[in-house]
């Protein structure tokens, strides 16, 4: 099912405050109205459970305590969040990193630094059901 960027509920999981601000700003500049961020996997899941729905998780793979891989596993097994798309946003762009993300079932992969001119369109394509794998 496709949802517009303006209507989508998006949860960003990013521990770096600068990356958090930049990503949220790019989403909002692209028209997103319902984008939220949390610094940890556990806080993101707890927050997401309170939302009416979650269409997309954007998650940094290498965050402290529990990784983006663990968020993916939690979301896929969750009784209400399991249909949300999960996209990795990371600076780890080695072929092995990308292959692991594909094998584990991420819905996309966006490499850091993000491409400001393309980011909101990439997110919309993912919300439309496309698989976006953007590596530097």
pLDDT reported for residue 119:
96
How far does Cα 83 stand from its chain's mean position?
13
What's the structural domain count of the chain?
Answer: 1
* CATH code, domain with 60: 3.40.50.2300
34-38 and 56-59 beta bridge pairing: unpaired
1 pLDDT band, cuts 50/70/90, is low
Instruction: Let me know if residue 3 belongs to a domain.
Output: no
Distance in angstroms (rounded) separating the CA atoms of residues 122 and 21: 18
Instruction: Let me know if residue 66 belongs to a domain.
Output: yes
Of 107, 24, 13, nearest to 64 by C-alpha is: 13
Instruction: Let me know if residue 1 belongs to a domain.
Output: no
Q: Are 55 and 9 in contact (CB under 8 A)?
A: yes
Long-range contacts of 91-96 (CB under 8 A, 24+ apart): 91/62, 92/61, 92/62, 93/135, 93/136
Instruction: Let me know if residue 46 belongs to a domain.
Output: yes
Instruction: Let me know if residue 135 belongs to a domain.
Output: no
pLDDT in tens, 67-119: 999 999 999 999 999 999 999 998 876 788 888 899 999 999 999 899 999 99
Residue 76's domain comprises 9-130
Mean pLDDT of 37-47: 97
Instruction: Let me know if residue 4 belongs to a domain.
Output: no
The residue length of the chain stands at 136
Phi and psi at residue 110, to the nearest 5°: -120, 125
Instruction: Let me know if residue 76 belongs to a domain.
Output: yes
Instruction: Let me know if residue 92 belongs to a domain.
Output: yes
């Amino acid at each position: 099912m496709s949802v517009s960027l303006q209507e989508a509920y998006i949860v960003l999981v990013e521990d770096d405050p600068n990356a958090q601000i930049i990503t949220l700003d790019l989403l909002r500049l692209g028209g997103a109205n319902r984008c939220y961020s949390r610094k940890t996997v556990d806080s993101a899941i707890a927050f997401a459970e309170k939302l009416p729905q979650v269409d997309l998780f954007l998650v940094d793979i290498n965050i402290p305590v529990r990784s983006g891989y663990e968020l993916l596993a939690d979301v896929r097994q969750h009784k209400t969040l399991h249909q949300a798309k999960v996209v990795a946003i990371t600076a780890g762009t080695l072929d092995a990193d990308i292959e692991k993300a594909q094998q584990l079932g991420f819905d996309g992969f966006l490499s850091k630094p993000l491409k400001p001119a393309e980011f909101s369109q990439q997110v919309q394509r993912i919300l439309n059901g496309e698989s976006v794998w953007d590596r530097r």
